[in-house]
Structure 1
Amino acid sequence: MAQQARELTHRLVPSPGGRIHLVEQGTGPLVLLLHGFPECWYSWRHQLPALAAAGYRAAAVDVRGYGRSSRPAGAAAYRMVELVADAAAVVRALGEESAVVVGHDWGSAIAANCALLEPEIFRAVGLLSVPYIPRGGSRPGAVFASLGGDEEFYITRFQREGRAEAEIEPDVRGWLAGFYAALSADTMPPPGAPDPLFVPVDGLLRERFPAGGPPGWLGEDDLDVYAGEFERTGFTGALNRYRAMDRDWEDLAAFDGAPVTRPALYIGGARDAAMSWLAAAIDAQPAVLPGLVSSHLLADCGHWVQQEAPGEVSRLLVDWLDALPR
């Protein structure tokens, strides 16, 4: 059993969009791990063995459009309802009837919608960095376009196919290193420096990335893994998630303002640059997540919480999972 818990198993399983690649470790109740942008299953490399050692079957997927998973054409294929269907298909393909789902960044939004749309399959939800924000208000594209004044928010910059790809893909490794550094506690721009998530309309995101080396959590081998995946796949599949936001707003109209009632956990980084525009959503979580068990903001931690503070995040996840009804 101890040897089995240490082994990583790669699988390709069928999904509505083609196939989903996942990496699993351990035996016990299933915990599905969903990454964000710009990452892959590897962002959960520290949690896989920790969850396995604690008696769980942990499965970290490459979300549709990333890594070794299928990359359907067109932004419509990356709507939230499609990604929730992928997650449900993974649970079934692994021979399980239910799972706990945990997500980071975009994976957090997918995880929350898994618990909202498929509560019989997803019995609890863990959210990292990005809180649950119910559908409502204006179209997301219009909201993000209104931010920044004379500058452009990065999500708006990602909307037109080919624009962000033209900046990123000539130097994938360098761009990733800079993006990770811009949102990491130990390398982010100092107070008073321009916000790395905003950029002049005729400028480049990389112009706001901090000078110097990568963050402490990102070794050269780790960066090689991420760069190798995106150099092979390109960025269009990953960026299409941003390009499907307004379609989500239409698809989920019947769930306007709907709470997620499954048992929930939130973990964020106190120094995450996104806290400036997510603070109100975090404060609102007790109302929109009535099953919220606990909420944590980790000191001296930026956006990449499960990689910047792997031990603490793993401990919080295991403590929460152990307290859930089985």
Structure 2
Amino acid sequence: MEIRTIHANGVEFAYLALGVGPLALCLHGFPDTAHTWRHLMPELAERGYRAVAPFMRGYAPTEVPADGAYEGGALVADVLALHEELGGDENAVVIGHDWGALPVYGTTERFRRSVALAVPPIDALLTGFFGYEQLKRSFYIFLFQTGLAETAASAPGFLDALWADWSPGYDAAQDLEFVRQSIGSPENLAAAIGYYRAMLGATPPSGRFPDPPKASEPVLYLHGQRDGCLGADLAKDVTTFLPDGSRAEVVADAGHFLHLERPREVGQLVLDWIGAAP
């Protein structure tokens, strides 16, 4: 898949694309890249979709946004703009993992079907986030609020260890090489950390974007049973925080990067939910 570019919401986005048909927008998280969808994109294309995986704002080769905005409203605005610029219509679908899941909840009205992986909606996340075990898992979020964040995250082995903790037993060598290419430079790493600084207020909001709305249409939510980033207990009652008709599945023997660890099973769950392209 070749890398292409498109201008949306004031940012020059790079993206991977495969297939012809209605848009299937695939959004990655941290520390990851558009290549994370390399197993799912061919399956989407076979079902008649045009699968598009952008590198999220600040992740090279997408540019670092001039506005420095990384709050949730900016991510939602990116997705809405990408939908429009990429020719999305009423048959478009969206799939997001980790940080890519958060704008999914705020854009369900624009897509025929929506899928979120590994990060539940904020209200569900807060029900267990401050438990002791989860706070230990989330140490990096608090580290990223400090001036030591870039130094720590760029230290040899730091990102490798996150992947190993979050998806135990998964060989992430190829993924980590993609990550180094994408956020290996100081400015791109600072951008990736910027999402977390905006999340807890270490960086004030830009004021340019409204807060993301809650999901208004059904969502399929998937979570790995052995997720070392966000414990699977956070997925237990997730549908109570989602619109009627939503579904949640915990994928056995999978961690945080469940779509890479169990690509066939996760791919089938996604495809069953979205169906073939109309």
Q: TM-score, normalised by structure 2?
A: 0.84
Structure 1 residues 263 and 29 mapped into 2: Cα distance closer, same or farther (>3 Å)? farther
| Post-superposition offset of 1:170 | 4.3
Provide the rounded CA distance (Å) in 1 between the counterparts of 2:71 and 2:10: 11
Provide the rounded CA distance (Å) in 1 between the counterparts of 2:15 and 2:74: 17
Residue 195 (structure 2) pairs with residue 241 (structure 1):
yes
- Equivalent residues in 2 for 1:134-283, closer than 5 Å: 134=123, 153-160=139-146, 162-171=147-156, 174-186=157-169, 215-216=170-171, 218-219=172-173, 221-232=174-185, 234-245=188-199, 246=201, 255=213, 258=214, 260-276=215-231, 279-280=233-234, 282-283=235-236
- Return the structure number with greater relative CO, CA threshold 8 A, min gap 6: 2
| Post-superposition offset of 1:296 | 1.2
1:322 maps to: 275
2:112 maps to: 123
**Structure 2 portions without partners, runs of 5+:** none
Provide the rounded CA distance (Å) in 2 between the counterparts of 1:31 and 1:68: 20
Provide the rounded CA distance (Å) in 2 between the counterparts of 1:15 and 1:274: 31
Q: Which runs of 4+ in 1 moved over 6 A?
A: 146-152
Q: Percent identity?
A: 34
Residue 20 (structure 2) pairs with residue 27 (structure 1):
yes
**Structure 1 portions without partners, runs of 5+:** 1-7, 138-142, 187-214
Cα offsets for 1:101-157 (capped at 9, x unmatched): 111111111211222xxx2x22321010111224998xxxxx86x998899822111
1:107 maps to: 100
Cα offsets for 1:252-297 (capped at 9, x unmatched): 6695xx4x23131111100112444x624x2333222124443211
Provide the rounded CA distance (Å) in 2 between the counterparts of 1:42 and 1:33: 10
Higher mean Cα deviation, 101-110 or 10-19?
10-19
Structure 2 residue identity aligned to 1:79: E
* Contact 2:73 2:211 (8 Å CA) reproduced: no
Residue 265 (structure 2) pairs with residue 306 (structure 1):
no
Structure 2 residue identity aligned to 1:83: L
The 3-state SS of whatever aligns with 1:182 is helix
User: Rg larger in 1 or in 2?
Assistant: 1
| Post-superposition offset of 1:92 | 1.5
Provide the rounded CA distance (Å) in 1 between the counterparts of 2:241 and 2:168: 28
Structure 1 residues 97 and 158 mapped into 2: Cα distance closer, same or farther (>3 Å)? same
2:71 maps to: 79
Structure 2 residue identity aligned to 1:235: L
The 3-state SS of whatever aligns with 2:151 is helix
| Post-superposition offset of 1:9 | 4.0
Structure 2 residue identity aligned to 1:261: S
Provide the rounded CA distance (Å) in 2 between the counterparts of 1:61 and 1:311: 22
* Contact 2:224 2:251 (8 Å CA) reproduced: yes
* Contact 2:25 2:51 (8 Å CA) reproduced: yes
Count matched residues. Answer: 270
Structure 1 residue identity aligned to 2:165: A
Cα offsets for 1:240-263 (capped at 9, x unmatched): 111112467x976695xx4x2313
Structure 2 residue identity aligned to 1:159: Q
Residue 81 (structure 2) pairs with residue 89 (structure 1):
yes
1:68 maps to: 61
Structure 1 residue identity aligned to 2:220: L
Aligned Cα RMSD in Å? 3.1
